Structure 1
């Protein structure tokens, strides 16, 4: 199943820079592993904000929830999830 996920990060202003850098580095490694596996298909930064738009390819809602809640930045995120399905006017025969 494909999901469009928008994540907005809100780190506390009083979080020490070293702690924020550590969380971000762990987050980067986790997301890149999922990208290499094909689970996190696309990742785009939203210009001008600390947010991203991503496409996930997972088995079901629960799998997506496990992945998202496993993100090191999860406690500091506002997340919107939208399930996706093929559009009948698409010229593609697959999800590429």
Structure 2
């Protein structure tokens, strides 16, 4: 029996409550993965934009620090606006 059949057979053994809990768990894990991917993307974009030299003593200089903060804030602002826009579209 291949893995897909074995997994399907195992899932069929679960009761409805367990299936619901498993679906919720998987949905939560997928959401965590999306958040981590978003944070990684944000970090990469802002780092490439803001860090122009080498990091000395493990600290950013004031302009780099300010740029990183502004970049992150703009990223979240755009994300919030996008979510609001999508909610408006869904409601209409």
Query: TM-score by structure 2 length?
Result: 0.31
Q: When you count helix as a share of all residues, which structure comes out higher? A: 2
TM-score under structure 1 length normalisation: 0.30
Who wins on radius of gyration, i.e. which is larger?
A: 2
Hey, which of these two has a bigger chunk of strand by percent?
1
Q: Which has the higher contact order (CA 8 A, sep 6+)?
A: 1
